[in-house]
Structure 1
Amino acid sequence: MNHKSRVSVVIPFYNCPYVDQAVESVLAQTYTDIELIVVDDGSTRYMEKLEPYRDRIVYIRKKNGGTASALNLGIKASSGAYFAWLSADDLFHPDKIRRQLETIRSYGTSFCHTAYYYINELGERFSGVIGMQFDSRSHLIETMMSGCPVNGSSVLLDMQIFSRVGMFNEGFLYTQDYDLWLRILPHYKWSYIAEPLLDYRVHQEMGSVIHNEAQNREIALVQARHKGILTQLLREEKAK
């Protein structure tokens, strides 16, 4: 049974040296009805960084299968009414969950994302505010058809969404988030917080740096898969 006000935060963890900082940022949230699930996707390093938190987290270990498989396992183990995902190398700002819940409830939306900052290996911010304000739903749909401005770690969504559109596609290694957002978009209204509530870490070991070419191929595949329904959705929006 889902607890009506609980937020389940899932951290997929694979050999990430920053995972303890990610955990700390969730435990430091000003909103307290949070369940933190760390899914260890077959790590061989840095597991000891989780030891001090084992009594405050749900820890699940599985054989390596990629980010989408780790997220899906975390979702299945969740008891919350809302889902948030935090990459093991990123950091929530203390008010993130509280602000997003307030936004979702006040606007009656099911999906909320936020602006963010870039941080480096040392945790130092080196960017201005990263984000995109959409002036209409048509603008949002058009933008999502050409690229993904939604940072996965910035998202909070209603857990009921998964029963309607399904969970993350485990066949996608790099764009499982983009594919899911495009499946959600036709059915649910989104809200956006222009204030940065996340620190997104940019470093040489991150998947998007190492696998850039494969990621670009997958983006094209995801866009082609959703083009028909999104084109129709855009036409309907513009006709309103």
Structure 2
Amino acid sequence: MQPTVSIVIPFYNCPYADQAIASALQQTYANLEVILLDDGSTRHRDKIEPFMDRIHYLGKQNGGTGSALNHGFRMASGEYIAWLSSDDCFFPRKIERQLNFMEKNGYRISHTDFHNIDASGAITATRAAAKFRTEREFIASFLTCCPVNGCTVMMRKDLFLELGGFDETLLFTHDYDFWIRAILAGEPFAFLDEPLTAYRWHDEMGTRKHWPRIAAEIALVQARHGARLRELLDRYLAMGRI
């Protein structure tokens, strides 16, 4: 039997939520669960009402994206879990292609390439993911930035639980912190070189509205994990893995 994949969509006052939900429901992969996690929204609920009979709706008090994802992933029934921001979209074969890649190679976590889109949904940049020649180069990039787009990630639920979920005290960089913890735990973080997600840039996105706070959290995550990342990179170098 094909494994169940749970897509969790955190929703907080987002006018694009209908497009995100529709893209999840239009996946070519059939054994799918779509969970909408309402993180205390007060606006744009009309965007989700038409889909209520086709999704699992969970509501909670506002606590941030990390809190919403933790709740949604823990409630998910799927062996695999994927995060879709309510302002982004999955391309139709996203789950099918990424699941096949992971099952074929035995990966427990992976990320993919993506396209950038604007507020209207027009593609503004193709294949926007950072590319790396080696695994060591990929790991080294975490010392200065988060090179992984969270909405391209799929992982096994058991890995998510083993690592303890997202740090809810990190309102903006919970994903950055989690990816580093996965790497430090020795988990291969595989890259599928196919654009399977549309990442939306718009004036109300958190990256633009909250950048000073995001920058402070980035520094916190780097201080938390920098020493262990450097130790890991030194081990790679000693083994000739450059």
Question: What's the CA shift for 1:102?
Answer: 1.1
Aligned counterpart, 2:35: 37
Q: Deviations over 1:35-65 (max 9, x none)?
A: 1110101100111221111111110111111
Asked if the contact 1:111/1:156 (under 8 Å) is kept, the reply is yes
- For residue 133 of structure 1, what is the aligned residue in structure 2? 131
Tell me the TM-score normalised to structure 2 length. 0.95
Structure 1: 5+ residue stretches without partners: none
C-alpha change, 1:4 and 1:184, in structure 2 (3 Å) is farther
**Local SS of the residue matching 2:215:** helix
Any conservation in 2 of the 1:4–1:81 contact (CA below 8 Å)?
no
Local SS of the residue matching 1:145: coil
Partners in 2 of 1:161 and 1:145 — Cα distance?
23
Distance in 2 (CA, whole Å) between partners of 1:92 and 1:237 is 34
Contact 2:17/2:87 (<8 A) preserved: yes
In 1: Cα distance, 2:134 partner to 2:194 partner: 18
Structure 1 residues 123 and 77: CA distance shift in structure 2, 3 A: same
- Contact 1:4 1:80 (8 Å CA) reproduced: no
Distance 1:5 1:192 in 2: 20
Q: Do the aligned partners of 1:10 and 1:75 also contact (CA within 8 Å) in 2?
A: yes
Query: Which residue does the alignment assign to 1:16?
Result: 14
Supply the RMSD in Å over aligned alpha carbons: 1.2
Q: Distance in 2 between matches of 1:128 and 1:153?
A: 16
Report sequence identity in percent: 45
Greater than 6 Å deviation, 4+ residue runs:
none
Q: Does the CA contact (< 8 Å) of 2:2 and 2:31 recur in 1?
A: no
Counterpart for residue 71 of structure 2:
73
Residue type matched to 1:114 in 2? T
Q: Secondary structure at the match of 2:123?
A: coil
- 1:217 correspondence with 2:216: yes
TM value normalised by structure 1: 0.96
Structure 1 residue 93 corresponds to structure 2 residue 102: no
Paired letter, 1:201: R
Q: Which residue of 2 aligns with 1:183?
A: 181
Tell me the distance in 2 between the aligned counterparts of 1:101 and 1:145.
29
2-structure distance, mates of 1:133, 1:210: 27
Q: Secondary structure at the match of 1:8?
A: strand
Aligned mate of 2:55, from 54, 57, 74: 57
Which residue of the partner structure matches residue 103 of structure 1?
101
CA contact (8 A) 2:94 2:197 kept: yes
Equivalent position SS for 2:221 = helix
User: How far 1:4 moved relative to its partner?
Assistant: 6.7
In the alignment, the residues of structure 2 paired with residue 81 and residue 192 of structure 1 have an alpha-carbon distance, to the nearest angstrom, of 20
Query: Paired residue for 1:48, among 41, 46, 50?
Result: 46
Distance in 2, matches of 1:31 and 1:130, equals 24
Structure 1 equivalent of residue 168 of structure 2: 170
Q: Which runs of 5+ in 2 are unaligned?
A: none
Give the equivalent residue in structure 1 for 2:143: 145
Is residue 226 of structure 1 aligned with residue 225 of structure 2? yes
